[in-house]
Structure 1
């Protein structure tokens, strides 16, 4: 609150009065207070001066011939800039408050009674100066915020609860309306960027549409706030096109480097193996030590190259995982046989623990990739096992899962590291094994492979040592049929896959073209398109790739009417549970909803 008279700096004042003596008296009084004063004898002249050079404050006589003060006030408010308030103080020698009340209704801000009280004049000017100062500060703050807003390189939009655009920064205007703010305000998000409000609020990665109708991948971050009793949503949109291109370039480069390194490394490893076998003659003890060291490091380098190559293939969705129903027994026996020599060579033992009756259980997996996972887990267990330690390869068969386990007698996983154990480039080096080095890719690659086969890789809870669990859904439980899950948002797709549980063998892909169709068509397709425009293209691709396959649209980006018009079953994502999704898929499978030839 203002504690005293505001220090009134020089103001630009306009005095409008048809009586010259009154006009001059008030003008001289204002000049003596240190202000710049302009004079006008009628309303028309005053309006022209205001339009040409707006004053800070207008002193306006009410009773003028022709255009009176009431009409002048109304016209001032009509031509006044929205971002600049111009105070109007009306003056009159008439007694009574009625005409002053009428003037205030027409837009005046204050009034003075003639003859003017000098102290009251000073007080009112000080008050107006204070209000104008506040206006200037607010205008400067608003402009500063707008400049900051417009200098954010990512599009930023604010929407109301109906999905209409209320505000947008310069980047959003350039991206979604070719630079025109008028092309965005009050428009719905579906029309502006091809995505409904519910999908934008959910956030994450999605496909949007710009003003030219071109689609682009984007990451959306949303915040919710309240204004005047209404809900507002502010969205920050980051274009991922360049990031995706860089990622593809990186993956292609790493794949090319891995490929180019393999050829000379194979030759080196082959030559060292020949030396170890004595093909170059008998080796002296010191020479054999050098050859053994070269052989170990060649194998280690080969594993690192394999890891890098597998990583680029998996993350780029270029690795084919072909799952077939197989008995688990031969897979375990092969894992024991393939890894026995490596384990024994390190002074350890590898044993299998299971019931013979469980070996007949069937799982749908890619045998080569599962062998790779088990080899990685056994190698990891050997790395941290004590001398003469034992590694156990186990099997447990339950009604909902087949669990393969690899356990060791090592120091275990530090508690603070367990949460990030299966992340990329994560390494926890126990104190007793400081010399054990690696890229931290093995468990991450193993997790990706297991998930591609519809299973999970997790850390067990043994009393001693470390135990890894590979849980795979058994064949023959529930529907247990292959299912394609198409969703461009990887986080949302992962949530959907977890909702499906073990009843379906899920193959994930961002686009239908990336699905592996070598093992035949799925029993069902589950899709979540990025809005109606993206849905049209997506459904067209699936009609070609999966003719006759029942499809369930599990999404908030399109509505039920649209899905049914395309001949598809529909389940809204919002509010649906895993049970709802399972029931919808069972109904879909039983009733054989198919594509309609529209």
Structure 2
């Protein structure tokens, strides 16, 4: 039968042929070379082991019956030193019966051939082994790359088994937890990250939490932990990514201190300037001509805008540092909403927009526990934005109703909607959809960020829906913050 054709993938593979008969050894080598493999030769067991250790062949063709060290012993020796790299051993025998072949397989041989060797069968076996070895090399390359990425990652990586015990870590984890790898493997995840909320992580699928690690030396470190999961053998494994945020927190603290200092230093002279301008305009207006009066009004208006921005920066800073104070009291909701609309009636008229109030019947006698100043600030931000981004003659609707024992306030405009690419940054400080348009319409990009922080400080939530027909911001207040009297 014709010899199996050489495979291009075989040219980099080397076969060690071991046989104590030179003629047989040379014939096998010739056949193997014709298949495209490189070859090495050994005339006995001792020489085979020396060549194997020195040259690291990919496949071994091994005669079982040899003097001194037979093929069984050579097979066991090869398998004991091959390590993670699999080297298939194909034993060759001219004996009848299966007992010796079974013994060879028990010695961890991978396959066998009968003498006289069929070149066709040898070719198929070697080509099959070559395919497996090439897959092994590809897998090994991917594994090496994966290990390199994992080990050199800036973040710590923990692999956690279904019993929530650490099964694998990278080098960064050793640094974060101040321990060697062997000290961390097998420990409970809760011992290293005691405040990690796994239920939330499993429900979200991909979840990030800020908490403290617990090093084996008792040290604590602020970290951000991202948790996801994967299945292996139908069992749920967790993958936790641990990032050191101590430097980020230090920088944030410095930033907050800088903003607080700068804002306080700006607010005092701005307040004095605004007071002086108002006194000048109010008591001595008759002494100025029209141009002077316009300049004073312009200076007063711009100083007011600067003061508003300074106050917004202070609010952002207080919220970030957790020092935002709320004065919660009970107010009649209809009066709060009427006050908000009256306050912004002039602004709406300036933009030629109508503001409408839509109250559900159950709202008429409802009371809301809130901070009056902060609620006016929230509604002011939403109403002014709605007016600013609505076309002329459009309507802005302020809506109030109760859903599932919770108060819902909505501010809806008839603008062109929020651009899709801007929506992920909608509540990020200093973000604005279009720089050019923002300059025309004014604004610091802080309003929605402050609104979100204020409503969350009241244990509420803010959401929105948007389309080309308009945008609606929805405020949900917590249960217990609403009372409806008959």
TM range (shorter): 0.7 to 0.9
Deviation at 1:447, TM superposition (A): 4.3
Alignment of 1:31-46 (within 5 A): 32=30, 33=33, 35-42=38-45, 46=48
Give the match for residue 94 of structure 1: 95
Does the CA-based 8 Å contact 1:59-1:90 persist in structure 2?
yes
Does the CA-based 8 Å contact 2:158-2:170 persist in structure 1?
yes
Deviation at 1:438, TM superposition (A): 0.7
Does the CA-based 8 Å contact 2:401-2:409 persist in structure 1?
yes
2:319 to 309, 314, 319: 314
Distance 1:292 1:372 in 2: 24
Distance 1:290 1:439 in 2: 23
The verdict on how the C-alpha distance between 1:277 and 1:344 changes in structure 2, with shifts beyond 3 A counting, is farther
Q: Secondary structure at the match of 2:73?
A: helix
Does the CA-based 8 Å contact 1:159-1:166 persist in structure 2?
yes
1:226 to 228, 231, 241: 231
Alignment of 1:419-458 (within 5 A): 423-424=427-428, 425=430, 435-455=440-460
The verdict on how the C-alpha distance between 1:127 and 1:259 changes in structure 2, with shifts beyond 3 A counting, is same
Give the match for residue 5 of structure 1: 6
Distance 2:125 2:404 in 1: 86
Distance 1:178 1:434 in 2: 54
Deviation at 1:103, TM superposition (A): 1.5
Alignment of 1:387-466 (within 5 A): 400=405, 412-416=414-418, 423-424=427-428, 425=430, 435-455=440-460
Alignment of 1:253-264 (within 5 A): 253-264=258-269
Q: Given the alignment of the two structures, is residue 205 of structure 1 paired with residue 209 of structure 2, yes or no?
A: yes
Distance 1:421 1:62 in 2: 72
TM-score by length of 1: 0.61
The verdict on how the C-alpha distance between 1:213 and 1:47 changes in structure 2, with shifts beyond 3 A counting, is farther
Distance 2:442 2:369 in 1: 34
**Further displaced range: 183-192 or 380-389:** 380-389
Does the CA-based 8 Å contact 1:190-1:196 persist in structure 2?
no
Deviation at 1:247, TM superposition (A): 2.8
Q: Deviations over 1:316-371 (max 9, x none)?
A: 2211113234566886787689778988999999999999x988764433334344
Does the CA-based 8 Å contact 1:62-1:69 persist in structure 2?
yes
The verdict on how the C-alpha distance between 1:306 and 1:113 changes in structure 2, with shifts beyond 3 A counting, is same
Q: Secondary structure at the match of 1:206?
A: strand
Distance 1:114 1:63 in 2: 12
Does the CA-based 8 Å contact 1:205-1:217 persist in structure 2?
no
The verdict on how the C-alpha distance between 1:132 and 1:284 changes in structure 2, with shifts beyond 3 A counting, is same
Distance 1:196 1:333 in 2: 43
Distance 1:149 1:77 in 2: 29
The verdict on how the C-alpha distance between 1:106 and 1:153 changes in structure 2, with shifts beyond 3 A counting, is same
Distance 1:246 1:53 in 2: 56
The verdict on how the C-alpha distance between 1:193 and 1:35 changes in structure 2, with shifts beyond 3 A counting, is same
Deviation at 1:283, TM superposition (A): 0.9
Distance 1:70 1:387 in 2: 94
The verdict on how the C-alpha distance between 1:12 and 1:286 changes in structure 2, with shifts beyond 3 A counting, is closer
1:242 to 232, 240, 247: 247
1:77 to 68, 76, 79: 79
Q: Deviations over 1:55-95 (max 9, x none)?
A: 3333433234565432332232223212x122223233322
Alignment of 1:403-552 (within 5 A): 412-416=414-418, 423-424=427-428, 425=430, 435-455=440-460, 501-503=478-480
TM-score by length of 2: 0.73
Distance 1:339 1:54 in 2: 83
Does the CA-based 8 Å contact 1:351-1:392 persist in structure 2?
yes
Q: Secondary structure at the match of 1:277?
A: helix
Q: Given the alignment of the two structures, is residue 155 of structure 1 paired with residue 156 of structure 2, yes or no?
A: yes
Does the CA-based 8 Å contact 1:219-1:238 persist in structure 2?
yes
Distance 1:398 1:228 in 2: 45
Give the match for residue 62 of structure 2: 60
Give the match for residue 23 of structure 2: 25
Deviation at 1:402, TM superposition (A): 6.5
Q: Given the alignment of the two structures, is residue 141 of structure 1 paired with residue 136 of structure 2, yes or no?
A: no
Cα RMSD, aligned residues only:
4.8
Structure 2 gaps of 5+ residues are: none
